Structure 1
Amino acid sequence: MEEVAVVGVEKTGDSVAVGAAKDLLFGSIGGMVGKVFEYPFDTVKVRLQSQPDTRPLRYKGPIDCFKQSLQQTGVRGLYRGISPPLFGAAAENASLFFGYNLCQEGIRNVTGNRDGELSMKQKLFCGAASGAFASFILTPIELVKCQMQVQMIGKAAMSANVIPKAVGGLQPAAAIHTASIRPPGPFALVGQIYSAYGLTGLWRGQMGTLLRETGGSAAWFGAYEYVSMKFKEIGNKDSTTISESMMAGATAGVMYNFILFPADTIKSRMQTEAIGVGGRSAGFMEVTRSIHQHGGIKAFYRGCGITVARSAPSSALIFTVYEGLKSYF
């Protein structure tokens, strides 16, 4: 079976500039492939996270959310707003792989360790640094994505005469979009956010994204590197097969999504708040207290199961595409 390289290790002796270009291009392609596969599951996850804490809950769980979404909007509705996250997945994974390998190169220059493997602690640090860097690129894209993912809930609620209620000072975006026959697209949403909050409003939910990406990316790269290392030790070889790379990638995806899922829930709740309602936006800690007050600890993990389940094959695809392209070229 064909073997693939380990993340950050160049087989071809490319220059730093060429290696960086490959990271950006191949990371982008891998991210887009993974996003097309996982997006319907991500839509369900966001709808579960952002539903109001009224009782009974609108969705009983991920399967019920899937059923209601398909009945109300069809498969097309599950892909509502995919353009921003498709671009976002390309930007996120490009910046993650670029940042990860750039950080490794920096550590090698500082330590003088040009040929040997970095320690696991050093790789975890590189993963965390790349995640922190990527979070600033990702937050505006995810803000638009989350707003679009809950738009169709509002239209369905209007037809059923059920309008989502404000809970804990937060008015869900779905309630506002019921008044629109045609929900605004991504560019219109950017304009609305800028008009309501200014340029900084595009980074609403940054704290949640930063926490998720910093810890999650450390776990993502760390898990991939650790599992790949074990496969190499067991097989007494220098590289992994495609199937082994996919297994390492699947493990990485599970770790990334599970380890800081509550931060993602808080971010989603903040980013699905109706634009410009109430004259202000609730902060990170205010939203955290509101979620806990109305739903307890369990509310922070709504959608966690489906997110972890879809992240395994999606992350396996991302790493396999990235590693495969890098080895081939």
Structure 2
Amino acid sequence: MNREDFIPDEIWVTGEDGFFLVPLRRDEDRQRWLELCRSDRAITIQVEDGTDRYDGKGIVPTSSSSAPWVMDRMFDILDVRAGMNILEIGAGTGYNAALLAERTRTGQVTTMEIDRAIADHARAALRRTGHPVTVITGDGVRGYPEHAPYDRLVATAAASTVPYAWIEQTRPGGRIVLPYVGTFEGALLALAVDADGTAQGRFHGEAGFMRLRNQRTDPHVWWLGEDDADVRTTRRYLDEPLNDFEAGFAVGTWLSDCTNGQIDEGGPAKTLLLSHADSQSWASLTAGTDEHEVTQYGPRRLWDELETAYDWWVAVGRPPCTRFGLTVTCDGQVFWLDRPTQVIPSR
């Protein structure tokens, strides 16, 4: 089975300006199209949710064929066996569902896709290649109870909050593998479902995926009420959580509901930004020579929270993401370090 059997004739690549994504069509450059299909790279198959916001170009990728190497890693963690009942969230091209169908052989594979055009493409590709996969057009956050309970559930879209419907629809002893995404960094997460309706498990290293559509980052509120913001100075230019994976992941377990950004000032230092849309809070750190300016607005003091989270991470020995875990219940989710009883302090 070849990945090119599932890739649409039009894919998206970075244009010459290095900013916009532009279409690459199979009939116009078949050699390059085929090289990308046979590479170990992710391939963007949709931008801007299929709208034409930028006159034939795009900025935001909204659907892709995942890199084969990362899917191999996810499938190894998932531990698929013959005869299993599997739900995939995020059909994309249909290629991953086909791989699951080959692994489970006599079992059942259901894949969900929220975008109708993408779902139609996956359905046609799976039918054409002879893979008995059920493709459902719908919101994967809700799962698909009609085929539950599942032995395995895998998501190819990142979640900041694990939908409890996924736990409800996975049988006790079953496994859920998904890319988790926090404020700064994302990582693979493997959860084991217990008979009491909870699920818990560890993170398995760095992974970057597009978010579930209804868990996309809220618009930032930077500079809102700037004239009323609180300003202080600091000698500490704390940029490690924004530029180092392990630091960013750890701090993100404290500030999991924020967005971040950086403004390049043309030198070695940048203005660093945090935002929490729900509370209309934001913070910035603007670099100076010896002292730097911290500006904070809203009921949350986001930069203070960042410093507290970072200092905690350093104090406990700068643990990597593989020492972190997550427990999900009907009441929400909590992060822990090393063992479920060692819950990470909340903000």
Q: TM class by shorter-chain length?
A: under 0.3
Structure whose residues are more often strand by fraction: 2
TM-score (norm 1): 0.24
Larger gyration radius, structure 1 or structure 2? 2
